[in-house]
Amino acid sequence: MHNRLFVRFVRWVGHDLGISPNQITLGRLLFFIPGWLAWLYRYDLAARTGLPWQLFGSLATVLVTTVIVFDIVDGALARETGQVSDQGKVLDPLVDKLITYSTLTLFWAAIDHVGLLILFGLDLASTCLRGVQVEGANDFGKGKAFSQNISKLFFALAALCAAPWLNRAGNALIWLAVLLATVSVGVRALPAKVKNSIQVAIPQILTLCNLGGGVLAIWFAAQGHLKLAVTCNFAAMFFDLTDGAVARKLGVSSAFGKQFDTVADMVSFGLAPALMINARAGWSPLSLALGLIYVVATLIRLRDYGRSKDRTPPGFFRGLPSPAGAWLVISSALYPSLALSLAALLVAAVLMCSFTINWIHFNRIIGTVRLGETLASLLMGIALMTATHTPETFFSGPIVIYAFSPLWRKPPASR
């Protein structure tokens, strides 16, 4: 649905309004300049007008975000109308780099300088390689650009909301962009034989990162650092979400990779959440019993996943996925109420083994998320955060909505 609306919008811009891709590119630059200046001089503008500086900062954020969104439009329009030109191939990346790094320098005080400089160097190398190659941006380059752009939003929100902790998320995205840019440049620069070897290794490396996140979560939980443990487990979920997608995108698969992924999932989404709650509960008999039930349920869930793929509707899981079960448990680890955390172990175990219920695949829901689901997640997160007086519980909202999603997200045959 979203894709059809986007195509219609692109056609309206190109055919009905008669705007060329290069005109959009230049228009992006013209809109960007006032947005950049509004952010740079937001305090001066506030002093001259008597209005709050956050108003000018928000206006700048909206303008720059709009400019970034239209970066997708000009490329789509060029392909849709056949207006791909040598001039556009030079102009578009040049404007992109100017907008990207001019924006990031606005957050110089908050940004990781080392990561930014490495990213800039990799971007230059990628641009030079693109100049001598036929193909455009690869998927890793597109992921790098997306990560870069989202980081700007976090840096802006950190300033507008006086929430410095959001800068950490922005810098994490900068380093993710560095990783993706490194792979993108490597894919372009290396010989075909080496590229093939790397393609086989990339999903394994991501699975290893999943396992590393789970091991770190266990270690931090044992040290009593629950917030760090939860952060590491969320990182493991991210790597678990990407390793399979990357393997499918690269067209690589192996029996070892599947077994390795199962082991990593067992550690990160079985053992780690159970040990987190037990560390918090002081290893009481009740927490040990519920932790054991949860671990066994995760084992059953992972075993069923490997055996029932052919009997599961495409794009859906039988039973709550183990990463979702882990999310439900670890988000409750920061609740003031220990009873709620213990209950989460049992609820997650039951849902993971509810094989008559189908949950939509994470990768599918990300691209088709509905406005109602987004609003419900935000409201649920705010309600939990307010009730517990713990900011981190805000991230419980999405998983609660996802847990109930089989009520309205059903396989086509069962509707």
Span 214-241, average pLDDT: 90
Specify if 365 maps to a domain. Answer: yes
Specify if 175 maps to a domain. Answer: no
pLDDT given for residue 14 in this prediction: 63
pLDDT tens readout for residues 364-378: 777 677 888 888 888
Task: Judge whether residue 414 has pLDDT over 60.
Answer: no
Percent pLDDT > 70 in the chain is 83
Q: The domain that contains 324 carries what CATH number?
A: 1.20.120.1760
pLDDT given for residue 2 in this prediction: 47
How many domains does the chain contain in total? 1
Specify if 120 maps to a domain. Answer: no
Q: Which of 183, 205, 187 is nearest to 196 (CA)?
A: 187
pLDDT tens readout for residues 87-103: 666 677 778 888 888 89
pLDDT tens readout for residues 140-162: 777 888 888 899 989 999 999 88
pLDDT tens readout for residues 379-399: 888 888 887 777 777 888 888
105-119, 121-135, 185-199, 301-315: which has the highest mean pLDDT? 105-119
**Single-letter code of the amino acid located at 98:** L
- CA 115/CA 49 separation, integer angstroms: 37
Percent pLDDT > 90 in the chain is 26
pLDDT tens readout for residues 319-347: 899 999 999 999 888 888 889 889 999 99
**Single-letter code of the amino acid located at 25:** T
Specify if 147 maps to a domain. Answer: no
pLDDT tens readout for residues 26-78: 888 888 889 899 999 999 999 999 999 999 999 999 988 888 877 777 666 66
Q: Across all residues in the chain, what is the average pLDDT?
A: 82
Task: Judge whether residue 306 has pLDDT over 60.
Answer: yes
Specify if 69 maps to a domain. Answer: no
Task: Judge whether residue 122 has pLDDT over 90.
Answer: no
Q: Give the other-Cβ count within 10 Å of 370's Cβ.
A: 12
362 or 283, higher pLDDT: 283
Q: Kindly give the residue spans of alpha helices, DSSP state H, lying in 163-191.
A: 165-189
Q: Which of 216, 210, 215, 186 is nearest to 198 (CA)?
A: 186
- CA 134/CA 150 separation, integer angstroms: 28
The boundaries of the domain holding residue 309 are 192-415
Specify if 222 maps to a domain. Answer: yes
**Sign of the CA dihedral running 153, 156, 160, 164:** positive
Span 355-363, average pLDDT: 85
Specify if 218 maps to a domain. Answer: yes
pLDDT given for residue 95 in this prediction: 81
**Single-letter code of the amino acid located at 320:** L
Specify if 65 maps to a domain. Answer: no
Span 261-268, average pLDDT: 90
